[in-house]
């Protein structure tokens, strides 16, 4: 067993008191071994740090989303007045919803689309390179951050790999990294070689999902363009535009 | 919303169980845990006079620290999950306050170094700690980028809590032993890259 294996075993398996003592004695008496231990720990730490950065980015998105969803605080004296008004509005909304059960908000439309189409991604036995398949496996295993890293690495190395860009956009969206998702989908939309290119439609989905200032108008424009030119996603585009009218 | 995962896991027990398993629910459980106590961030702003970003950092670090401990089985259910998290959060806030007043930063340090060093007793621990402090972490990060895709993947998955066996399935290796051998070779290769660069710089 070489040193690195010995060190790996020490940190990843239970040790007896004797094994611990032996390990510590080697550190004290063998500088080169101690350096290997220090390197092993540092490597692990650096990688964990990178993983944590990815995780924190995801948390940031969740937090921003939660903040947007939270109502602003109102003075206590006005609460009852607002509560009554809110009840009336809710009643009207419920009735309206019952009457027009097919209407939805842009965000709900995007959510439904994401749920139906991107909860998991198809792993086909196609000519796609193994590295892309691995990214898909990670995504389906609930590892969108690792999958995104994988897709981005492929897209970086091969700028013509539009599948990688498409999946990078989806993985970014799955983690609420809207700007990144829009970047990859707009890159995808630029590809003129694809027989059918969903780039513009995916941009619209992302904008609906984010629903920030100006997003819905921008998404509607994209959907109108898709519907008018019968581009990829035109069926959904037409339905959505009807429902949002 | 489709990504609102807080409804997926309800009890502390379920949440902890899902955090400990390497399946689809693990990531969802992480998000659910984060979403559940975000009001701590306001506490950090009110009680410790932190900026919102600072309080967010303290809270995110709290969640990451807790997830790490739960995975390692260090959370023993001696207190409610909320109490446990709140205690960590307060410590992170105090760390941040200290950083603001004394310019010392401990809140952004990850728990991995102390955790692994806990498995070594003094004086060996101090010796290793001193060696770590002498290392050039930026150079190590750069060499990691040069390591090659499959090596980086292997090391990242392992650091993310996947076992060699799970990695062998994900990356289509023949067995867990092959993964382990490859992983250790990757660390050796990284060390070589790091030392070559250091020697050429020095």
Based on the fold, state whether residues B106 and B152 are members of the same structural domain.
no
Q: What is the mean pLDDT of chain A?
A: 84
- In this predicted structure, the answer to whether residue B6 has a pLDDT above a threshold of 70 is no
Out of A101, A117, A149, pick the residue that ends a domain: A101
Residue at B118 is within a domain: no
Residues of A in contact with B187 (CB under 8 A): 4, 8, 39-40, 43
Token code pair at residue B110: 């990850």
Cα-only R_g, chain B = 20
**Where in the sequence is the domain holding A96, given as residue range(s)?**
72-101
Cα-only R_g, chain A = 25
**What's the sign of the alpha-carbon dihedral B2, A55, B68, B35?**
negative
Tell me the shortest Cα–Cα distance from A82 to chain B, in angstroms.
24
Q: How many Cβ pairs closer than 8 A exist between chain A and B?
A: 154
Based on the fold, state whether residues B94 and B192 are members of the same structural domain.
no
Report the C-alpha gap between B59 and A62 in whole angstroms: 13
Residue of B nearest to A105 (CA): B1
Beta-carbon separation of B1 and A65 below 8 A = yes
**Residue range A128-135: mean pLDDT, rounded:** 75
Residues of B in contact with A112 (CB under 8 A): 2
Based on the fold, state whether residues A112 and A207 are members of the same structural domain.
yes
Beta-carbon separation of A111 and B160 below 8 A = no
Based on the fold, state whether residues B105 and B140 are members of the same structural domain.
no
Based on the fold, state whether residues A9 and A110 are members of the same structural domain.
no
Q: What is the mean pLDDT of chain B?
A: 82
Beta-carbon separation of A28 and B123 below 8 A = yes
Is residue B107 very low, low, confident or very high in pLDDT (cuts 50, 70, 90)? Answer: very low
**Where in the sequence is the domain holding B101, given as residue range(s)?**
5-112
Out of B48, B81, B112, pick the residue that ends a domain: B112
Please tell me which of the candidates A27, A50, A58 has its beta carbon nearest to residue B124.
A27
**Residue range B185-190: mean pLDDT, rounded:** 95
Residues of B in contact with A39 (CB under 8 A): 135, 187, 191, 194
Beta-carbon separation of A41 and B116 below 8 A = yes
Beta-carbon separation of B155 and A52 below 8 A = no
Residues of A in contact with B128 (CB under 8 A): 27, 34, 37-38, 41
Based on the fold, state whether residues B66 and B140 are members of the same structural domain.
no
Residue at B180 is within a domain: yes
**Residue range A33-38: mean pLDDT, rounded:** 95
Query: For position A158, which CATH number holds?
Result: 1.25.40.10
> At B197, which helix (H) or strand (E)?
helix B176-201
Report the C-alpha gap between A228 and A236 in whole angstroms: 12
Number of domains composing chain B: 2
Based on the fold, state whether residues A170 and A90 are members of the same structural domain.
no
Residue at B139 is within a domain: yes
> At B69, which helix (H) or strand (E)?
helix B52-71
Residue at B126 is within a domain: no
Residues of A in contact with B144 (CB under 8 A): 43, 46-47, 50
pLDDT in tens, B66-77: 988 888 788 877
Based on the fold, state whether residues A19 and A126 are members of the same structural domain.
no
Report the C-alpha gap between A189 and A199 in whole angstroms: 4
Tell me the shortest Cα–Cα distance from B101 to chain A, in angstroms.
25
**Residue range B170-183: mean pLDDT, rounded:** 91
Residue at B119 is within a domain: no
**Residue range B80-106: mean pLDDT, rounded:** 81
Based on the fold, state whether residues A112 and A215 are members of the same structural domain.
yes
Based on the fold, state whether residues B26 and B61 are members of the same structural domain.
yes
Based on the fold, state whether residues A61 and A140 are members of the same structural domain.
no
Residues of A in contact with B153 (CB under 8 A): 134, 150
Token code pair at residue B41: 């961030």
CB A175 within 8 A of CB A55: no
Based on the fold, state whether residues B76 and B171 are members of the same structural domain.
no
Based on the fold, state whether residues A94 and A146 are members of the same structural domain.
no
- In this predicted structure, the answer to whether residue B22 has a pLDDT above a threshold of 80 is no
Alpha helices in chain A (DSSP H): 3-12, 17-29, 31-69, 76-99, 106-118, 130-140, 144-157, 162-174, 178-189, 199-210, 215-229, 234-244
Tell me the shortest Cα–Cα distance from A221 to chain B, in angstroms.
24
Based on the fold, state whether residues A48 and A12 are members of the same structural domain.
yes
Q: Is A120 helix (H, G, I), strand (E, B) or coil?
A: coil
Based on the fold, state whether residues A30 and A49 are members of the same structural domain.
yes
Beta-carbon separation of B184 and A5 below 8 A = yes
Based on the fold, state whether residues B73 and B157 are members of the same structural domain.
no
Based on the fold, state whether residues A155 and A89 are members of the same structural domain.
no
Is residue A176 very low, low, confident or very high in pLDDT (cuts 50, 70, 90)? Answer: confident
Based on the fold, state whether residues A157 and A80 are members of the same structural domain.
no
Residues of A in contact with B28 (CB under 8 A): 142
Residue at B129 is within a domain: no
Q: What is the pLDDT of residue B103?
A: 56
Beta-carbon separation of A45 and B110 below 8 A = yes
Query: For position B69, which CATH number holds?
Result: 1.10.1740
Number of domains composing chain A: 3
**What's the sign of the alpha-carbon dihedral A153, A185, A134, B31?**
positive
Query: Which of A5, A34, A43 is best to mutate for the B interface (most B CBs within 10 A)?
Result: A43
Residue at B124 is within a domain: no
Spatial CB neighbours of B33, under 8 Å, sequence gap ≥ 6: B15, B19, B63, B66, B67
A21-30, A133-142, B22-31, B148-157: segment of lowest average pLDDT = B22-31
Report the C-alpha gap between A57 and B134 in whole angstroms: 29
**Residue range A87-112: mean pLDDT, rounded:** 73
Residue at B165 is within a domain: yes
Out of B54, B78, B112, pick the residue that ends a domain: B112
**Residue range A90-111: mean pLDDT, rounded:** 71
Q: Which residue has the higher pLDDT, A96 or B9?
A: A96
Which pTM does this prediction carry?
0.55
Is residue B155 very low, low, confident or very high in pLDDT (cuts 50, 70, 90)? Answer: very high
Residue from A173, A168, A204 nearest A187 by CA: A168
CB B36 within 8 A of CB B55: no
Q: What is the pLDDT of residue B102?
A: 67
Q: What is the pLDDT of residue A96?
A: 60
Tell me the shortest Cα–Cα distance from A195 to chain B, in angstroms.
30
Based on the fold, state whether residues B25 and B97 are members of the same structural domain.
yes
């Amino acid at each position: 067993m070489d040193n690195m294996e010995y060190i790996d075993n020490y940190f990843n398996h239970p040790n007896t008191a004797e094994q611990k003592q032996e390990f510590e004695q080697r550190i004290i008496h063998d500088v080169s071994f101690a350096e290997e231990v220090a390197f092993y720990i540092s490597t692990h730490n650096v990688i964990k740090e990178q993983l944590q950065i990815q995780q924190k980015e995801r948390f940031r998105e969740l937090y921003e989303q939660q903040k947007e969803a939270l109502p602003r605080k109102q003075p206590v004296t006005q609460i009852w007045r607002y509560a009554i008004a809110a009840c009336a509005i809710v009643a009207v909304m419920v009735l309206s919803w019952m009457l027009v059960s097919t209407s939805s908000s842009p965000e709900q439309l995007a959510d439904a689309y994401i749920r139906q189409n991107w909860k998991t991604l198809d792993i086909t036995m196609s000519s796609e390179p193994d590295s892309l398949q691995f990214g898909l496996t990670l995504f389906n295993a609930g590892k969108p951050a690792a999958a995104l890293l994988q897709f981005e690495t492929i897209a970086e190395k091969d700028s013509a790999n539009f599948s990688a860009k498409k999946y990078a956009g989806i993985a970014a969206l799955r983690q609420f990294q809207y700007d990144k998702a829009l970047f990859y989908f707009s890159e995808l939309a630029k590809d003129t070689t694809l027989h059918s290119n969903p780039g513009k439609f995916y941009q619209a989905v992302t904008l609906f999902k984010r629903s920030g200032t100006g997003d819905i108008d921008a998404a509607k424009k994209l959907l109108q363009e898709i519907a008018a030119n019968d581009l990829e996603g035109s069926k959904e585009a037409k339905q959505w535009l009807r429902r949002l009218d | 919303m489709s990504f609102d995962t807080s409804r997926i896991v309800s009890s502390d027990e379920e949440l902890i169980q899902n955090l400990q398993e390497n399946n689809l629910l693990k990531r969802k459980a992480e998000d659910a845990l984060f979403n559940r106590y975000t009001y701590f961030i306001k506490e950090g702003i009110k009680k410790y006079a932190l900026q919102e970003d600072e309080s967010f950092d303290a809270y995110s670090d709290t969640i990451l620290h807790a997830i790490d401990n739960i995975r390692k089985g260090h959370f023993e259910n001696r207190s409610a999950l909320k109490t446990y998290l709140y205690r960590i959060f307060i410590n992170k806030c105090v760390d941040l306050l200290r950083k603001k007043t004394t310019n010392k930063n401990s809140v952004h340090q990850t728990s991995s170094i102390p955790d692994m060093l806990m498995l070594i007793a003094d004086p060996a621990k101090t010796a290793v700690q001193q060696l770590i402090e002498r290392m050039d972490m930026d150079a190590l990060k750069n060499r990691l980028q040069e390591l090659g895709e499959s090596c980086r993947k292997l090391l990242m998955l392992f650091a993310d809590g996947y076992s060699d066996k799970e990695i062998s399935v994900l990356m289509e290796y023949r067995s867990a032993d092959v993964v382990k051998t490859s992983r250790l070779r990757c660390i050796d290769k990284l060390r070589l890259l790091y030392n070559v660069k250091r020697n050429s710089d020095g």
